[in-house]
Amino acid sequence: MSRIALLTGGSTPERDVALAGASQVAPALRGLGHEVVVVETIEGPLSREREQTLLDPSVAREPPSPEELAELARRENLPALVAGPALAGFDLVFLVLHGGAVEGGLLQALLELAGLRFTGSGSLGSALAMDKEVSKRLLREAGIPTAEWGVWPLASDRLAALGWPLVVKPANAGSSVGVTVAHGAAELPDAVEAARAVDSEVLVERFLAGREFTVGVLGDRALGVGEIVPSHEIFDYECKYTPGMTREIFPAEIPPALAERMRALGLATHRAFKLRDFSRIDFRLDADGTPCVLEANTLPGMTRTSLLPQSAATLGIDFGALCAEICRLALTR
């Protein structure tokens, strides 16, 4: 078996999500016989006692405050972490991280330069998928349906062409942090400011009123399709991480042809973004019932009840087997 550094934490709004995932991945990997050391991006290698107190399977209803994140970012030094002894001597670095530099390619580039083997997509694929404006262009070039969009600021005629309501989101973020729906011009300034609080580039996208779905990809195989039914208008941060606020139906109760179409589009998106090992592709149906790709998640949530593990379970792949396959794909690459 392998010696694995489970790298988690981070200074992004999705820090709590990462720690929750690590609380379940670590015992799963140990159950497979691996030697696992949990490494937090700020504190470094954790003792078993510190691991017990820091890794919490629950996620707060709100992400950490900007002040908390600023303090975490001040203490975090990813280049020093990767170049130092914390990750030396391991067979594999298993990434349980979300958002910003830790998912968007910077950390992956540092790991590549250091010659360290790690799970998930490389620096290029991570960067392509994280930048929502670039990923939209790639989807269009590949002929994969996606909602029409523009980058703020937009001229009035372009806004009129997109129509109301509009989804306003940070161009480089995850877990729906900073995402809101503007139903008219009066709501747009506040929506833009909410997105700008997370990222300087803001995407404005046509709202698709149809049902929402997700499909995982593992290796070169599309997994099962699930339907997401949030309590709110969109699958926002609160709905994602507050128990009881979203129904997640796996497998989705849809015609087989629609499920196969989304599985094919999910795999095509994974390939178009040059992703590897695993990902999760999110969809929403347009007014005609056509599945449109919302985004690709290169490091999707990894608690036992997260969407990727549920997508895998529909094909008989339990949580331990999913973790084992992610390790295998990275170790044999």
Q: Where in the chain is the domain with CATH 3.30.470.20?
A: 130-143+209-317
Q: Where in the chain is the domain with CATH 3.30.1490.20?
A: 149-206
Q: What is the per-residue pLDDT for 300?
A: 96
Query: Cα 227 from chain centroid?
Result: 17
In the residue annotation, 237 being an active-site residue is answered as: no
CATH of 130-143+209-317, one of 3.40.1360.10, 3.60.15.10, 3.30.470.20, 2.60.120.620: 3.30.470.20
In the residue annotation, 61 being an active-site residue is answered as: no
Whole-structure pTM value? 0.93
Query: Cα 304 from chain centroid?
Result: 15
Q: What is the per-residue pLDDT for 67?
A: 94
Mean pLDDT computed over 68-81: 96
- Residue 71 scores a pLDDT above 60: yes
Q: What is the per-residue pLDDT for 174?
A: 63
Name the catalytic one among 2, 9, 10, 14. 14
Name the catalytic one among 135, 176, 297, 311. 297
Q: What is the per-residue pLDDT for 231?
A: 74
Name the catalytic one among 15, 241, 263, 279. 241
Q: Where in the chain is the domain with CATH 3.40.50.20?
A: 3-118
Cα–Cα distances in angstroms (integers) from residue 157 to residues 160, 162, 208, 253, 280, in the given order: 5, 9, 20, 39, 34
- Give dist(CA 218, CA 4) in Å, integer: 20
Of the ranges 33-37, 88-92, 177-181, which one carries the lowest mean pLDDT score? 177-181
Name the catalytic one among 15, 266, 282, 311. 282
Name the catalytic one among 11, 126, 135, 175. 175
- Give dist(CA 294, CA 285) in Å, integer: 10
In the residue annotation, 141 being an active-site residue is answered as: no
- Residue 226 scores a pLDDT above 90: yes
Task: Please check whether the domain covering 149-206 is classified as CATH 3.30.1490.20.
Answer: yes
Mean pLDDT computed over 43-66: 92
In the residue annotation, 77 being an active-site residue is answered as: no
| Residue that wins the pLDDT comparison between 23 and 1 | 23
Mean pLDDT computed over 254-266: 98
Name the catalytic one among 280, 284, 306, 311. 280
In the residue annotation, 14 being an active-site residue is answered as: yes
Mean pLDDT computed over 164-192: 87
Confidence band of 279 (pLDDT split at 50, 70, 90):
very high
In the residue annotation, 200 being an active-site residue is answered as: no
In the residue annotation, 212 being an active-site residue is answered as: no
What percentage of the chain has pLDDT greater than the value 90?
84
In the residue annotation, 175 being an active-site residue is answered as: yes
DSSP symbols for 206-261: EPP-S-EEEEEEETTEEEEEEEEEESSSS--HHHHHSTTSEEEESS--S-HHHHHH
Residue with tokens 């690590």: 22
- Residue 177 scores a pLDDT above 80: no
DSSP symbols for 55-113: --S---SSPPPHHHHHHHHHH--HHHHHHSGGGTT-SEEEEE--SHHHHSSHHHHHHHH
Q: What is the per-residue pLDDT for 171?
A: 85
pLDDT tens per residue across span 234-252: 666 676 667 677 899 999 9
Name the catalytic one among 103, 301, 306, 311. 301
- Residue 22 scores a pLDDT above 90: yes
Q: What is the per-residue pLDDT for 198?
A: 83
Mean pLDDT computed over 199-219: 95
The CATH architecture to which 3-118 belongs is 3-Layer(aba) Sandwich (3.40)
